[in-house]
A and B are shown apart, each in its own frame.
Chain A
Amino acid sequence: MVKNVFKIGGVLLVLYSLIVSLSTPLNKGIVDFQPLQLDTGSNAVSFRFFPAPNNPSDLRFFIKSNTAYFPIEGSVEGNTFSGEVILPDTMPDAYVDVAGQIGHGDVMAILDASFVKNITKGELQTDEPVWKDVEEAGMIFPFKTILYQTIRNLNLHVPMWFAMMAIMLWSLILSVKFLGSGNVEHDLRAKEAANVGLFFSLIGIATGAVWARFTWGNWWVADPKLEGAAVSTLIYLAYFVLRSSVKDDHKKARLAAVYNVFAFVMMLVFIQVLPRLTDSLHPGNGGNPAFSQYDLDSNLRKVFYPAVLGWILIGFWLSNVRGRLATLRFRIENED
């Protein structure tokens, strides 16, 4: 039972992360506020909200300048709202936010949505609108323009790379063990671990390609992280080419172990060091905000960390099963 804990735990964690990350609703949000510059007096404005409301009858939207709220009168069509707002000559701040609510639900906002020209700064206070029974926010994923619903992919795409690095590290440790002991079975286990790591990297590339298509507009973009992914896949494909080109088991094990150690270090340099020296589209590199700034509400983390742990455990299980199979085959072949 005890030795099965990590298998059951891995499966449960992955199931939890898949179910929760697919079923949790996305926060509501407003996007594409137009125009970017407002004037005093009457202004025609429009924006879209997300997702489209079921019952668009009861909407209230405001332009908010610090303490002052100005109602936007208008109507909704699909998920586009267009209307009119009247702004006074004196306002507390020229940078204005948009805030609003549809029916009974969360209050949506865009901070610094627009800029008002020709105003004089001065004190002005209006009543704060009374928001109708704002629901207690349960498990909810943050709303991000560009990402929208694909933010869920975070819990599938990123754990693949964590799992791959963990399994490749395990493969490296087994290779070093082989170089120390000369026991071919260590090398067979290292090979199977590399096999599983390669599998994870292929899934990582596939899920990443779908995500890149949606957010950056193409299946493949010029980005150091993608180059790193491609190179590490190539390195381990070369590892398998090397293995298949040597017949003698002991010699094969020795050469493969040496290449594995060398390749892992070079892969680490390519994935971990080089992206920090150049610009990247990925969060956390080259001046982009780090991942932790994307989910201040920490709900994503409740799914993300279990997903990482679960996939790593499943990876170890896979490589363990495959490694045992390979060593048993090796023993049977060498019996006679």
Chain B
Amino acid sequence: MPYLCPLMRIKAVKAIFLKEWIVERKNPHVIGGLFLYVVSTVFVTWLALVRLQNVPLWNALFWVIALFGVFNSSHRVFSQEIGTQQYYLHQMAKPLEVLFGKLLFSVLVNSILLVFTFVVFLWFFGWPGEEEGNWLALFATSFIGVLGLSGMLTLMSGIAYQAGNNPSLIAILGLPVVLPLLMLCIKVTKLILDGVAASVWSDYAFSLAGLTVAIIALASVLFPYLWSD
């Protein structure tokens, strides 16, 4: 399958994904730092609260901690392309291949980060709801949310990288635009944790999926303008 579409070669996407993988394996402290961040933040929250049987609060804390984890990890996406590496990528790959290679790796890292945050939350605070929840729905909607977050923050990371690789710029640019997606994520997962019927939250889940598709489409339209010099 040499060409899926004329703008993007699957082989090149795979190569960039693998490149990311190798770079991260050589510097394990970057991703290790993310996991340490999650554990220490949840631990500090646990020290402050100890008991947390309140579903909205559990859900909100979970998403806020996960959000900042994702923000931290998104700085990693472009910051390792120091010096002339960018020109090498320009030569070897088309913009969309760069975007999707990096986006896929970012989705992988962020999904693992989210699952890890979830496990640490369960470890310290326990399951917030009254009864067994709908695990499948929770993971599915969270994954859609992570997809949207990764797409948005990969674009923001690209902008911040072009603007001089300034890590604080990602937070400034990303936080206001990430809010619609984050509010939907918080709303859907709260309803699922509450254990309400699927018909209640399915509308929100569809909005979330639609927004995610729109974000990734918009990112793929805009990224070539960002990447070309």
Contact = CB atoms under 8 A, between A and B. Distances in A.
Contact of B176 (A234, A245, A251, A274): A234
Interface in A226-277: 227, 231, 234-235, 238, 241-242, 245-246, 251, 254-255, 257-259, 261-263, 265-266, 269-270, 273-274, 277
Interface string B165-182: 010010011011101100
Interface in B205-229: 207, 211, 214, 218-219, 222, 225-226
A251 B162 contact: yes
Contacts of B164: 245-246
Nearest to B203: A277
B145 to A, nearest CB: 14
Given A245-B164, A265-B214, A277-B204, A258 B159 contact: yes
Q: Is the interface of A mostly helix, strand, loop or mixed?
A: helix
B124 to A, nearest CB: 29
A235 B177 contact: yes
A263 B204 contact: no
Contacts of A263: 176-177
B183 interface: yes
A293 B130 CA distance: 43
Q: Is the interface of B mostly helix, strand, loop or mixed?
A: helix
A246 B159 CA distance: 11
23 contacts: A231-B179, A234-B175, A241-B173, A242-B169, A242-B172, A245-B166, A245-B169, A251-B162, A251-B163, A255-B163, A257-B225, A259-B173, A262-B155, A262-B177, A262-B218, A263-B177, A265-B214, A265-B218, A266-B176, A266-B180, A270-B180, A273-B180, A274-B183
Interface string A194-208: 000000000000000
B162 A241 contact: no
Interface string A154-198: 000000000000000000000000010000000000000000000
B159 A269 contact: no
Interface residues of A, number: 26
A38 to B, nearest CB: 42
Contact of A246 (B163, B179, B214): B163
Given A255-B159, A255-B162, A266-B180, A238 B173 contact: yes
A201 to B, nearest CB: 13
Contacts of A234: 175-176
A251 B161 CA distance: 12
A257 B169 CA distance: 16
A266 B179 CA distance: 9
Given A231-B179, A241-B172, 18 more contacts: A231-B176, A231-B180, A234-B176, A241-B169, A241-B173, A242-B173, A245-B163, A255-B159, A258-B226, A259-B159, A261-B222, A262-B177, A262-B219, A262-B222, A269-B214, A273-B207, A277-B203, A277-B204
